[in-house]
């Protein structure tokens, strides 16, 4: 069913994780033809039954598409899907517009785009979670040449309510680095606030309503705090391994720019410890599992 005035496109989508699945379903709802590929083929079942068509390789996706969207784990995965055997760059008659929705370091984005002068590379990392992706409510941070971004904007606006062109290739990823600094430190802070509210003996569930409209109010307080307080982590909105990877990216980016960010450092260490303790595939908001109520002089877990 058509839900937008944008002409139907042949869209290629590589990477059917939590976010990729939600975005593909959104695009199918809008009447686009979507060809998909994923490293784990079994994940494709979540979108094939709704009308997506499976391809045998990223190159085949590109050949069948007007525009290729990527949403994969890290820079190595982006490189493999674009430049690896049977990658997007190997496609005959492939689309020349590639939009990378993944979260990877800005320097890697610039380096990869520089290796593919025949591709119109747009970096467009997203934020908001699977529900926002399914509803077209993402925040999308965009980097790329003006002409390339202009071609991508109608499609991106069908996925996000807030789409901002931040500058040349890599600028979208720079904005996402800052986003992830806020998200990672914020998730850790919400865990600590929940823990303290519960220890203090108040009705902790009422805290978001109590603080609404004040300086402490935020999406984190209204949406993430209740999730943590209720220990309602299923279905996940993201995986701890991904946020841990992103926080390591923030650390490296900050170090490269001569910035000391102790709050981010602590959050990065907490998430790394959580992943090492077996929480890699746990919900990204479930970091409270690493906390326990302790006296002020007791060692942290």
Give buried/exposed letters for 244-273 (b at 16+ CB in 10 A, else e).
bbbbebbbebbeeeeeebeebbebbebbbe
**Which residues 6+ apart lie within 8 Å of 288 measured at CB?**
191, 194, 195, 228, 231
| Tokens found for residue 181 | 């600094």
**Smallest Cα–Cα separation from 47: which of 31, 26, 30?**
26
| Active-site residue, selected from the candidate residues 26, 134, 176, 251 | 176
For CA atoms 226, 231, 234, 240, the dihedral sign is positive
What separation in angstroms does the CA of 93 have from each of 11, 24, 61, 253, 292? 14, 23, 11, 36, 57
The 3-state DSSP class for residue 293 equals coil
- What burial class does residue 27 get, using C-beta atoms within 10 Å of its C-beta: 0-12 exposed, 13-18 middle, 19+ buried? buried
**Structural element, H or E, at residue 192:** helix 171-200
Does 176 participate in catalysis according to the annotation? yes
CA distance 203 to 12: 48
Contact assessment for residue 101 and residue 122, using Cβ atoms and an 8 Å cutoff: no
What residues are annotated to the active site?
Answer: 176
């Amino acid at each position: 069913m058509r839900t937008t005035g944008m002409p139907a496109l042949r869209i290629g989508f590589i990477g059917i994780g939590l976010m990729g699945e939600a975005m593909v379903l959104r695009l199918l709802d809008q009447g686009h033809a979507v060809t998909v590929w994923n490293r784990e083929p079994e994940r494709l079942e979540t979108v094939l039954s709704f009308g997506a068509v499976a391809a045998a390789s990223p190159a085949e996706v590109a050949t069948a598409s007007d525009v290729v969207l990527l949403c994969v784990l890290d820079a190595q995965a982006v490189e493999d899907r674009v430049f690896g055997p049977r990658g997007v760059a190997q496609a005959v008659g492939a689309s020349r517009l590639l939009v990378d929705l993944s979260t990877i370091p800005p320097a890697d984005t610039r380096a990869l785009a520089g290796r593919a002068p025949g591709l119109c590379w747009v970096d467009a990392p997203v934020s908001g979670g699977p529900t926002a992706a399914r509803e077209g409510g993402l925040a999308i941070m965009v980097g790329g040449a003006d002409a390339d971004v202009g071609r991508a904007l109608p499609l991106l606006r069908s996925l996000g309510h807030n789409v901002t062109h931040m500058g040349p290739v890599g600028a979208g990823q720079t904005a996402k680095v800052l986003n992830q600094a806020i998200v990672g430190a914020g998730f850790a802070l919400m865990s600590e606030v929940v823990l303290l509210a519960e220890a203090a003996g108040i009705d902790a569930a009422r805290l978001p309503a109590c603080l609404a409209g004040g300086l402490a109010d935020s999406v984190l307080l209204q949406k993430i705090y209740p999730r943590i307080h209720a220990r309602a982590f299923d279905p996940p909105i993201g995986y701890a391994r991904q946020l841990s990877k992103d926080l390591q990216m923030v650390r490296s980016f900050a170090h490269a720019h001569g910035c000391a960010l102790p709050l981010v450092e602590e959050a990065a260490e907490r998430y790394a410890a959580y992943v090492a303790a077996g929480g890699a595939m746990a919900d990204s908001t479930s970091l409270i599992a690493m906390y326990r109520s302790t006296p002020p002089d007791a060692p942290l877990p």
